[in-house]
Structure 1
Amino acid sequence: NSIYQYFNLTPPKEQYVVVLDPGHGGYNPGNGMYNMGAIGLNGIYESEVVLDISLKVADILRSNGVTVQLTRTREKDKSNPYDLEDRLRLAENFKPNFLLSIHANSFTSSTANGVETYWRTSQSKWFATTVHNAYLKQVQLRDRGVKQDTTLFILKGQSYPSAMIEVGFITNPEDYALLSTPEGRTKAAQGIAKGILQFMGIDVKPLDH
C-alpha cells in the first residue's frame, strides 16, 4: 500500500485519470511535416501503430470506469504536439494519476525483437513492471526487461507514476505480425489495459474489445 500512499491515490476509482501518450505523430510547423516515428516492415509507421493501440486501451479503461485522456487522438492533425515540452505540459494539464507513453521499436537488423518498458524515477518502477508483465503475458513476445532511463522527457512528471512501453519491433517479422493487424493491436491493448487496471486495484471486466 505504500506506493498508493506516496501518490495519495485517495479518490474513488472512477475519478482516477489515466493519460495515454501515443508516441510521435506531432506536427512540426517549422517544416510542415509530421513526426511519424520509426518506419517498419512494408512501410508501416510507428505513430499509426501506437495511436491505434492507445485508442483501444482507452476504450477498455473507460469501460472499466476509468477517466482517460490522450495527448493526441488522430494522425496527421496539426494540433498534435510536436515539442516534448508541449506534450508533457498537455499531459499534466489533465492532472493525471498515471501516465503511460506507448511506442514501438525499430532497428537496422530485423532480428532485434521484443518488449521493453522504461521508468524514470523509482516511484514509477512498479507501475512500469506491472504494465510490462501484463502485456507480455497477453502477447507472448520476447521479454527485453524493465529498465530505468532518466533521459525520457515525457516521464519527467514527479507527482504520479509514469512509464514508457515499447510494444515490439515493427522491423521484426514476428513482432510486426502482431502489431500490423487490428486483431493483434487489440490483443496488445488488452494486455496494456489489464496491467494499468491491475496496478490501480480494479477488478478487470472481460476484455472483449
Structure 2
Amino acid sequence: MLKIGVLASGRGSNLQSIIDSIEAGELQAEIKVVISDKEGAKALDRAAKYGIANKYINPKAYESKENFEQAMIDVLKKYGVELVVMAGFMRILSPYFVRYYRNRVMNIHPSLLPSFTGLHAQKQALDYGVKLAGCTVHFADEGMDTGPIILQAAVPVKDDDTEETLAKRILVEEHRIYPEAIRLFSEGRVEVKDGKVKIKNRE
C-alpha cells in the first residue's frame, strides 16, 4: 500500500479529501504523517482526529532552508514515505528537496497551469478575463508551480464571479482530482517521460 506524507500549512481541506477517499476505499494508500510549518495548523488537528502521526517543524529553528528541509526529509524517511503530497503548503521547496524526491512530490494549484502561477491565481484569472479557470495536479520541480502536469479540471468563469466564489467552485474540483492523481500513482500508472506525464491505460 502506498505510503503518503502530507505537507500542509493551513486548514487542510485537500488533506481531508484524501482521507475521505481512503476511508471510502477509493484510494488504496495510507497517510503515514502530516507535517506543517505552522504551529496550530488545522491540518495537524485533522490528522490527529484520524490517528495520523503529525508534526510541527519550525523553520525558524534551523539555520538554513536546506537544514529545515532535511528535518522534513528525516521525518518522511522515518515513516517510509513513498509519495510526498503538498496540500496547501505555502513554501516553495528547494532544488535539494525536489531532487531527493524527484517525481514523487505532488502539488495542486488553483489554475490551469501554466497560466496564473503563484499567489491569488483566481484573482489573476478574473483580472485577465478568462472564460475557463480550474486546477492542476502536477509533480513539483525546481520552479514555482511548474513541473509535469498529471491531471487538470476546468471550471467555467461566471460574469458575476468574485475571487471567493470562483475559488470555492475550483476547490470542489481540487477535492476530486487530487485523490484521483494519487490513485493513478499508487497503481503505477503515472510515467514521466521527456518532462511530460503519460497515464497508462487511461479510460
Calculate the TM-score normalised by the size of structure 2.
0.45
Larger RCO (CA under 8 A, 6+ residues apart)? 1
Q: More helix per residue: 1 or 2? A: 1
Calculate the TM-score normalised by the size of structure 1.
0.44
